[in-house]
Structure 1
Amino acid sequence: MTTDPSGAPEQTLSPAQVLRWKAAIFAIFLTSGLSIATWASRVPAIKASLDIENAQVGALLLASGIASIVGLSTSSLVMARFGARRGMLTLMLVFAAGVAVVGLGTDLFVSYPVVMAGLILFGFGNGCIDVIMNVEATAIEQLGGKTILPLFHAFFSFGTVIGAGVGAALAGIGVNVLAHAASIAVLIVLIAIAAIANVPSRAQTDPDPAEHGAGWRERLTLALSAWREPRTYAIGVIMLGMAFAEGSANDWLALGVVEGHGGDEALGAFALTVFSVAMTAVRVFGGPLVDRFGRVWVLRALALTAAAGLTLFILAPNLPLALVGAALWGVGASLGFPLGMSAAADDPAKAAARVSAAATIGYVAFLAGPPILGVISDHIGLLNTLWIIVVLTIASGIASSAARPLRR
């Protein structure tokens, strides 16, 4: 017999059902990363096709970021009213449509507003589903009693590795953004249908569709309660710096190689692949590391690594050293977000509410930070702008004690 975070009994899940549930959430994390890297790896091509400047690229990111924040802000309402399963299926279809519209705007219509419309759809869908999939992942982690959330985020990174690698390959052989984006959109739809069929209904996140009135409002009140707790904001400081580092890499690393270090578009996409591979490797092995050394010490070590990698990337006199910096940057930024989620879920009674609140803080930094960097970069240069992230990663390391496990 399983229990929801409030301790109420739920349906009994067999080992095979739990395995399918886990595989489904792995697939959803992977798909989210794939969709983000599809856009990120083609930023130079989109910029060239639309003939726009960094500030206009930043405005695209800002539109996507605002839509994502709206999605984050409404995720608790979506879960409380419609449930995790129906919510995730609908949102995956929304961000798949967004990816397709970005391709249409880039190569068919060559229209800046169309690309922006696609990124708004993409941002809203991805922002909202990110909270819901983290709630599902922490429920699986609580069920097993081991630190596995980094592994779920590793699958997000697998998605970015695949997306960035495909982007690099297609950019290298001259495939346009439309063909690339349309293919990925179809793949997302297929994964969505297969994955959601294997997510079990849970009492806390999948209410009876016939339930009205106080039932769903009570769930919404519980979901919002974490915003009144100081520990939520302390965990948010940790996640802020690392989410900023990860999100900025996804959006600006490729362009940093092209404009800051003189590489071509394919090499920029390859650098993003290096970052993603490094991040993924640490996330795969992150759970046992955390169980062995503890969250706090792991977070402090990785914050220093991220700061060092960013510094090397900024100052590197040649491309090979810039790639080494990108790898260290990826290693350092790897576990801040998933360990923040694990810390938020320490108390099963309020795990979903706290995970939702902490994820919102992290994703606001993840999504809103890069557009701000784009505006700043037009005044001081892209590489110089990355010093802001160095400072934020150091601040994240200083605040890492907030992730210390709660006493039972």
Structure 2
Amino acid sequence: MSTTQSTTARGNLAVWRNAVFVVFGISGLGFASWVSRIPAVRDGMHLSTETVGLLLFGLAIGSITGLAVAPTYMSRVGTRRALRHSLIAMAGATALLGFAAGTIGSFALSATILFLFGFFYSITDVVMNVEGASVEKAAGKTLLPLMHAYFSFGTIIGAVAGAVAAHYRLGIGLHFAVAGVLIAAAGVLAVRFISSADGHEPRAAADVSGVGATARPRASGGFARRALGRVGGSLRMALEPQLLFLGLMVIGMAFVEGAANDWLPLAAVDGHGFDNAGGALVYGTFVGAMTVGRAAGGPLIDRFGRRLTLTLMGSLGFVGIMVFILTNEHWTAFCAAALWGLGGSLGFPVGISAAADHPTQAARRVSIVSIFGYTAFLVGPPVLGFIGEHLGILDAFYVVAGMLLIALLVTPRAMAARDR
């Protein structure tokens, strides 16, 4: 390859990588826009802690459904169209959520739209992670943690915007409408560059379903039969020992991250006496630390390996959770949230990166591991909400600490054949 060709290839890779960075950031912005205003939604709709958990249950159900659909949808329409459609739909759901929760104040409508938000959010999640894994392989170095750092950077922007909106009592409807417009505009622009750098649209079936591009399912087989076949194949794949341990690790790590995303602002308000703006800033501290952990994670993993890095970071997270539960000082709560964020920063992206190592089954394996993770999001909100309603939300976080310990115990087995 000539010097000019090599420079062009590096330039194309950089454009492709940067476009994926933007998509991760947009996704984080959309998610944090919702999370940062949960206390305001709770107050405006006069919900109990347990009822907030049920509201979040709709988000988790939608996310699980989207994860199941994502690989097939991606194989049908390709990366560019799948991302464009899901980002625009997620932006629309964000704006509608502001109308339902902020303007109307309807629990049923809010739960329904949260289902749709979770559905399109998780399709975006699978596609951007598969695309990120492709960039990582092309670059020849660990990049997925850095991509998830951009997700966390997006959540910082969303959390700070939420804190400002809460401080100035900006209506949830207006706040979410602005966030939706930003997501749609930035998403459409970024996806154009992913398409030009990627070079294949739609994506080959071998990468998504694990069969060759010439062996696509025929329509005569029937949709139901093909769907059942895909579900059965995914279940068999999920029971492979290596993928099963990887999934168990991701469940624990996702529970740790998801618990903070769902409950940390409320725990800061109800458990430590912060106001709503202060609760959003505590959450911002958490996602800020996650961003730092993910930005540093790639070089750490390349030097020390996945197993050791995950164990050390997870141990910091355990300390952070326990301190957050037990502290009586505001400044200590901020420090604990930072440690919690560092501890939860690498589990999900490293799990996705390990799942995507397979040369022909990347999207299905990413989808399966993501479903493991989102199962924690499905179970976590109502469980923590129920415990928080009866024992207090801080005491509910002992469950989070326990889940992190389980994840740390299975990490050596999950990384045994994949450590670098």
> One fold, TM greater than 0.5?
yes
Which residue does 1:113 correspond to in 2? 108
> Is contact 2:80-2:201 (8 Å) kept?
no
Give the structure 2 partner of residue 326 of structure 1: 337
Q: Counterpart of 1:346 in 2: which secondary structure?
A: coil
Q: Is the 8 A contact 1:308 1:328 kept in 2?
A: yes
Partner of 1:230: 241
2:223 is matched with none
Q: Which residue identity is paired with 2:203?
A: T
**Correspondence 1:27-38 to 2 at 5 A:** 27-38=22-33
- Which amino acid is 1:19 matched to? A
Question: Is the counterpart of residue 21 in structure 1 residue 16 in structure 2?
Answer: yes
Distance in 2, Cα, partners of 1:331 & 1:78: 34
Residue pair 2:15, 2:193 contacting (<8 A) in 1 also: yes
Q: Aligned in 2, Cα 1:406/1:324: closer, same or farther, shift over 3 Å?
A: closer
Work out whether 1:179 is the aligned partner of 2:190.
no
Using the size of structure 2 for normalisation, the TM-score is 0.88
Contact 2:126/2:363 (CA < 8 Å) preserved in 1? no
Aligned residue pairs total 395
Indicate the residue corresponding to 1:191 in structure 2. 186
Residue in 2 that maps onto 1:157:
152
Superimposed CA distance per residue, residues 270-329 of structure 1 (whole angstroms, 9 cap, x where no aligned partner):
000000111101111110101111111111111211111000000101211111111100
Question: Any conservation in 2 of the 1:79–1:206 contact (CA below 8 Å)?
Answer: no
2:415: which partner in 1? 403
1:95 matched to 2:106? The reply is no
Q: Offset of 1:86 from its aligned partner?
A: 1.2
Aligned twin of 2:5: none
Match of 1:104 in 2: 99
Partner of residue 8, structure 1: none
- The Cα of 1:67 is off from its aligned counterpart by 0.8
Give the structure 2 partner of residue 284 of structure 1.
Answer: 295
SS of the residue aligned with 1:354?
A: helix
- Residue in structure 2 matched with residue 54 of structure 1 by the alignment: 49
Cα RMSD for the two superposed structures: 2.5
Aligned to 2:304: 293
Contact kept? 1:132, 1:356, Cα under 8 Å: no
1:259: how far off?
0.4
Secondary structure at the aligned position of 2:193 is classed as coil
8 Å Cα contact 1:26-1:155 kept in structure 2? yes
1:253-280 deviation line (CA, Å, top 9, x unaligned): 0000100111100000000000011110
SS of 1:263's partner is coil
Match in the other structure for 1:205:
203
CA contact (8 A) 2:268 2:274 kept: yes
Task: Tell me whether 36-45 or 14-23 shows the greater mean CA deviation.
Answer: 14-23
The answer to whether the aligner puts 1:135 opposite 2:130 as a matched pair is yes
Shift of residue 80, structure 1, vs aligned partner: 2.0
**Paired amino acid for 2:85:** T
Q: Decide which of 265, 273, 283 is 1:262's aligned counterpart.
A: 273
What does residue 71 of structure 2 align with? Answer: 76
How far did 1:405 drift?
4.4
> Residues 192-247 of structure 1: CA distance to partner in whole angstroms, max 9, x if unpaired?
2101111224377356xxx9995257999598473352211111111111111111
For 1:407 and 1:127, the matched residues in 2 are separated by 27
Query: For residues 405 and 36 of structure 1, what CA distance do their matches in structure 2 show?
Result: 33
Structure 1 residues 226 and 176 mapped into 2: Cα distance closer, same or farther (>3 Å)?
A: same
Structure 2: which amino acid aligns with 1:103? G
Partner of 1:215: 216
Offset from partner CA, 1:167-207 (integer Å, 9 cap, x none) = 11111111111111000000011012101111224377356
Distance 1:249 1:406, change over 3 A: closer
**Unmatched segments (≥5 aa) in structure 1:** 2-12
Kept after mapping to 2: 8 A contact 1:346/1:405: no
- Asked if structure 2 preserves the Cα contact closer than 8 Å seen for 1:103 and 1:181, the reply is yes
State how far apart, in whole Å, the 2-side matches of 1:103 and 1:353 are.
33
**Percentage of identical aligned residues:** 39
**How far off its partner does 1:367 sit?**
4.6
- Structure 2 gap segments, 5+ residues each: 2-7, 206-211, 219-225
SS at match of 2:47: coil
Give the residue type in structure 2 aligned to 1:71: G
For 2:419 and 2:29, the matched residues in 1 are separated by 37
Query: Would you say the 8 A contact 2:59–2:118 is kept in 1?
Result: yes
Change (3 A) 1:233 1:204: farther
Report the equivalent of 1:304: 315
